[in-house]
């Protein structure tokens, strides 16, 4: 049975619901966090499909590079920046810190994409990111996707770390040039 004396209890609830609806309706999209509808494995799958289309061997997931990617994303959120370099810290610092002894290394970043296909397409449409993705010198990859805030706005960051480890055996690149010349001349 409807009691008119209880209507005063319903009004604040309706007012609150209307207010929340208006806030959501008129909030600019740049302030709404990009929903993470993809996972690192999705990025690696797309990346390897692109590499194979260009006859480049697929990348292998590496836990150390994955840790480097996670540390980089965490650092960007905690230090409030989105860039490859920040206050003297390089992507290579995160890779070394993770225990990956690299000969070649690279990094791709993306912000506020909603799926793996969008991220991969954006990287393929950027000359420098594409060069990293298709670089034959890279054997391994680590990927993280994290959400947080940058400059007070919600953000979802994708970090791709790429690398090739140094061999444990001596390689021509590990030997000083003077020693190589001496060996070639038989001295």
Domains and CATH numbers, the chain: 38-163 (3.40.33.10)
- Check residue 182 and give its pLDDT: 61
Contact between 170 and 108 under an 8 Å Cβ cutoff? The reply is no
Question: What percentage of the chain exceeds 90 in pLDDT?
Answer: 68
Q: How confident is the model at residue 53 (pLDDT cuts 50, 70, 90)?
A: very high
**Strand partners of residue 141:** 61, 162
Q: How far apart are CA 77 and CA 93, in angstroms?
A: 17
Residue 31 confidence (pLDDT): 31
The pTM of the full predicted model, rounded to 2 decimals, is 0.72
């Amino acid at each position: 049975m409807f009691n008119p004396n209880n209507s005063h209890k319903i009004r604040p609830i309706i007012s609150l619901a209307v207010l929340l609806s208006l806030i959501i309706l008129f909030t600019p999209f740049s302030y709404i966090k990009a929903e993470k509808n993809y996972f690192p494995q999705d990025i690696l799958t797309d990346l390897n499909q692109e590499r194979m289309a260009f006859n480049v061997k697929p990348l292998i997931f590496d836990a150390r590079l994955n840790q480097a990617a996670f540390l980089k994303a965490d650092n960007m959120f905690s230090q409030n920046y989105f860039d490859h370099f920040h206050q003297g810290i390089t992507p290579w610092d995160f890779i070394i810190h993770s225990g990956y002894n690299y000969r070649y290394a690279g990094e791709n970043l993306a912000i506020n994409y909603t799926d793996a296909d969008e991220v991969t397409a954006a990287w393929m449409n950027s000359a420098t990111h594409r060069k990293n993705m298709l670089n034959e010198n890279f054997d391994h990859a680590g990927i993280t996707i994290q959400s947080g805030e940058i400059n007070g706005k919600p953000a979802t960051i994708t970090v791709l770390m790429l690398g090739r480890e140094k061999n444990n055996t001596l390689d021509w690149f590990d030997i000083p040039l003077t020693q190589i010349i001496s060996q070639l001349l038989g001295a």
